Amino acid sequence: MSFAKENGALVSYRNGEKLVIEPWGKDSLRVRATKFGKFTGNDWALTEKVPQTEAKIEFFEKDHWVGDGIIDKREYASITNGRIRAEINFVGIISFFRDEKLILREYYRSYDGTISQGSRCLKIVNREWKGIIGGSDYKLNVKFDANKGEKIFGMGQYQQQDLDLKGCVLELAQRNSQISVPFMTSSLGYGLLWNNPAVGRVTFGKNYTEWIARSTKEMDYWITAGDGPKQILENYTSVTGHAPTFPENLMGLWQCKLRYRTQDEVLEVARAYKKEGIKIDQIVIDFFHWTVQGDWKFDKTYWPDPKAMVDELHSMGIKVIVSVWPSVDRKSENFYPMMEKGLLIKTERGADQTYDYQGDCVEIDPFNPECREYVWNVCKKNYYDFGIDAFWLDNSEPDYGVYDFENYRYCAGPALQVSNMYPQMYSRVFYDKMKDLGDGTVVNLLRCAWAGSQKYGNVVWSGDVPSTFQAFYEQVQCGLNMGLAGIPWWTTDIGGFMTDDVNDPDFRQLLIRWYQFAVYSAVLRMHGDRGPYNIPPLDNRDWGGGYLHTGQPNELWSYGEDNYRIMKKYYDIRIEMHDYIKSLYDEASTNGAPLIRTMFFEFPEDKKCWELQDQYMFGGDYLVAPIFELNKFEREVYLPEGCSWTLTSTGETYAGGQTVSVDAPIDYMPVFKKA
């Protein structure tokens, strides 16, 4: 092993691998390695300029037991940046220390190792590079020792019940309702970003942690130290970017359904809300308002004058957002021009098809700047120039017909290497241009994200999830972990996406419980595919805005007078909290703090709070306890120690540090305000 100091970084060489550790932000280090001799120059999620830091680099020797009572001297090196220090031993194993306490160490069970004398012949190394047959790149496997008692959070959104990810296996890949944002926060006071958009896997095992990239040119991760999740997230967003300042006129109700089929339907709904005295901030025009996928324009049969529609909505103070998909049907007027220019995703074998819902489609390649320019120019002409305010970038994973990532290729390389960054690049088709053209913050709606997506004006929703209480429970966990992965603008389809029968009283109870939760979340948004599907299509064509089915009405008054009264009550609560919600959005844009927060985010010293996942904090003031079961009208709530709490339904005040049982009739979700 050889060590050197180069340009303020610690560099080591061993067995053809170049390893570089350098300071990168407050109390943080970036760790890279390659077998190619030099790095690609890709910073991936580390986009922000950070203050230059002078790290302390040392070279020294330590005693090493080599057997038979013999002690030998071996070379070591270390680099210190503030509170974090990395130490490399003579076989390249890296150990990380926060305030000189070990927090993370690479796993190694091979010859000449010092970690486990009893298993030194296993030949398991800390960084395993396996060449891909027939190619120049590598499959990379990086292992770390497991820490007893450690809890792990963040990593984006996975449809499961576990908030604590210790013991979980997570696919590093984007799917509908699965969002890989590879930043983890540890209860031991550190955070780690796997700064690599390759498809792979992470296992937070009891015996070791394992990060795998199925195809890559280099290892790249960033690690930071802090006193707790607030400081860790602040360090993380300072190097990956902060969310912009959220517009005040979008903090109320967003109205949506699958799907408004005509401009008259949109205007009728908007006028009805105005008549009811309910201000909606934004109305959403969903898919198949177009001719065919990839035309990116209104079907004039049902949308004869989009500008007049937008003008009337604007006169009511309502913003307009329209759905855009990345799929391009072979029947689209844009398919062959884009195919000829190389602006669509390539397949490695078989037919040129990546998506097959309602058409034979290939999706766009947003890694290609010419593609981004082409799509924006079409959408600007057909939407933005009519006054459309924002874009709903659906299917933004992208939603492949089959998730065979090894079969797809982008301008930037094989999908296996970069696919996780697709939703971020897709968002930039619109964000980059709108930021330059607009006079305010860009806010678009996406179904997926990656590390750093928070800086590109992305409201991320949790995807097409079932309308069940189990799915509802899982969405709260999803939102909390998304926040800890740096994505503060997060929302769900109220009531879930897939509903068989809107008249089912069990569904209506779920809808109310979900709606109550959504009021105490970042974005209050009505949406869903509401059955039964007994509404006839507008025409008999097999294309255009009239042929596809539509769901049942999904406005606040659509579910009966009693439910309307409850939703109106909670709508009023949302409006009353406007200034408070604005303060939370401002905080997110300053230090990365999410709007919905785990209990331990606000109370890291309270050990009980690290065990809770069925209640959360909405900002620093409100403790929210959703109802996750059918016909459940009371629940237990833990009140953190160190302060007192006032129940909003009765005004009764409770001391912290105890669990209390509270009533939860259908028109009330337990909420406590911190005194």
**Does residue 264 carry a catalytic annotation?**
no
Helices 306-315 and 263-276 cross at an angle (nearest 10°) of 10
Dist. CA 407–CA 516, nearest whole Å = 43
Query: Residues 364, 326: contact at Cβ < 8 Å?
Result: yes
Dist. CA 533–CA 549, nearest whole Å = 7
**Does residue 394 carry a catalytic annotation?**
yes
> How is the chain split among helix, strand and coil, in percent rounded to 5?
25, 30, 45
Dist. CA 58–CA 77, nearest whole Å = 6
Catalytic residue, from 164, 397, 474, 606: name it: 397
Dist. CA 404–CA 399, nearest whole Å = 11
**How distant, in Å, are the alpha carbons of 335, 382, 512 from that of 515?**
40, 34, 5
SS3 per residue for 328-396: EECCCCCHHHHHHHCCECEECCCCCCCECCCCCEEEECCCCHHHHHHHHHHHHHHCHHHCCCEEEECCC
What's the DSSP call for residue 148?
A: T
Query: Residues 296, 378: contact at Cβ < 8 Å?
Result: yes
Catalytic residue, from 432, 464, 555, 614: name it: 464
Cα end-to-end distance, the chain, whole Å? 58
Question: What six digits make up the tokens of 68?
Answer: 């038979």
Catalytic residue, from 394, 399, 493, 606: name it: 394
**Does residue 397 carry a catalytic annotation?**
yes
Q: Where are the alpha helices (DSSP H) in 383-486?
A: 415-418, 422-437, 469-484
**How distant, in Å, are the alpha carbons of 78, 279, 442, 553, 637 from that of 317?**
59, 8, 17, 22, 39
Shortest CA distance to 106 belongs to which of 5, 233, 17, 198? 17
Which residues are designated catalytic? 394, 397, 464
